[in-house]
Amino acid sequence: MRSIEWRDGKVRFLDQSQLPAKEIYIETDDETVVARAIKSLALRGAPLIGIAAAYGFVLAFDRLKSNDVKSVTACIERTTHLFVSTRPTAVNLFWAVNRMRNLAIDSAGKSLEGIHANLLAEAMAIHMEDEEKCRRIGQLGAEILPNAASVLTHCNTGSLATGGDGTAQNILKTAWEQKKLKHVYMDETRPLLQGARLTAWELQQLQIPSTLITDSTAAFLMQQGKVNAIVVGADRVTLNGDVANKVGTYGLAVLAKHHGVPFYVAAPTTTIDFEMVTGSEIPIEQRSGSEVSKIGNYQIAPEGVDVYSPAFDVTPNELITAIVTEKGVLRKPYREALEALKKQDMSKLIRKLSSGREGR
């Protein structure tokens, strides 16, 4: 299943806000529709919203009438603002927007057809790269799970959230295929129930044995010894290894520490923010109070009640057993591991640029 794809000049995506009751796909050639879908969580998941924004850039330039500098610059600025203003926490979104923005700037002066072709190729490359990252994360993560693993997961990290088979959830899928996985427990993930609505739906399709629990049941489950690993995704990882993920993740990490359960984070390197040192710097998205006071259109709390509804929380690095990326499994001290990863990436970039100069 592909949650998003480019099809005949349009973006086609699955409206996740309708799952599991309805499986509805939306096709559009309007970038504002894509942006609204990201903001409303019809499109969600850190890697997926980056891919969606990349395709949105293509749609914006598809309707451009002139390739003069003023028109191209205005389109770049408008489209950049449109997407970076949708959701503040997931760094993949900003990474993808900057990648498309820089290419658009470099393409200035080309024909409209040339600009569009460059942007579409880049958006498709971002999509395909994420698919490969998911595959590698699944392989590397499955290797570190215990045999006959009974795993607890939070929120949704499967194909609905990425360009491939998922991050944390692909670790579970790969482990199941390798006969290392015994069972999955998934938190319902209040307030928007991504675990109940989305992860439960995906695991059923994959025919992986799974049990849905309320968020508050996790502690009792660990106390009974029914969980021997926790695997979650991430929306931003800072240089010291602090992790922002769906609200409720921090509580799980504290519980895991108390019960001696390893706590793994699965994240592509595009989720790492090398410019942000600690989790205290991460902007935390605040959602509408109605997402807590209502379930769907049904009011479950008194009208006018004050609500605090952060979409994410931050898990300190000392509570994390390992961070699984497509480039390897990172362990403490995370700052050293992440700085080494950054240097490795810089060395590859320098070699690539040098190779390009030599070829001219």
Active site residues: 235
Question: Quick one: 23 exposed, middle or buried, by C-beta within 10 A (0-12, 13-18, 19+)?
Answer: exposed
The token pair that represents 292 in the structure block: 């807590």
Instruction: Give me the amino acid identity at 284.
Output: I
**CA pair distance 84, 230, nearest whole angstrom:** 31
Instruction: Give me the amino acid identity at 81.
Output: H
The separation between CA 207 and the C-alpha centre of its own chain, rounded to angstroms, equals 23
- Asked if residue 67 lies in contact with residue 19, where contact means CB atoms within 8 angstroms, the answer is no
**CA pair distance 125, 298, nearest whole angstrom:** 42
Burial 50-82 (b: 16+ CB within 10 A, else e): bbbbbbbbbbbbbeeeebeeeebeebbeebbeb
- Asked if residue 330 lies in contact with residue 338, where contact means CB atoms within 8 angstroms, the answer is yes
Instruction: Identify the residue whose tokens are 């969980």.
Output: 227
Instruction: Identify the residue whose tokens are 């749609």.
Output: 59
The length of the chain is 360
- Say which residues have a Cβ less than 8 Å from residue 340's Cβ, sequence separation at least 6: none
**CA pair distance 216, 255, nearest whole angstrom:** 11
- Asked if residue 232 lies in contact with residue 155, where contact means CB atoms within 8 angstroms, the answer is yes
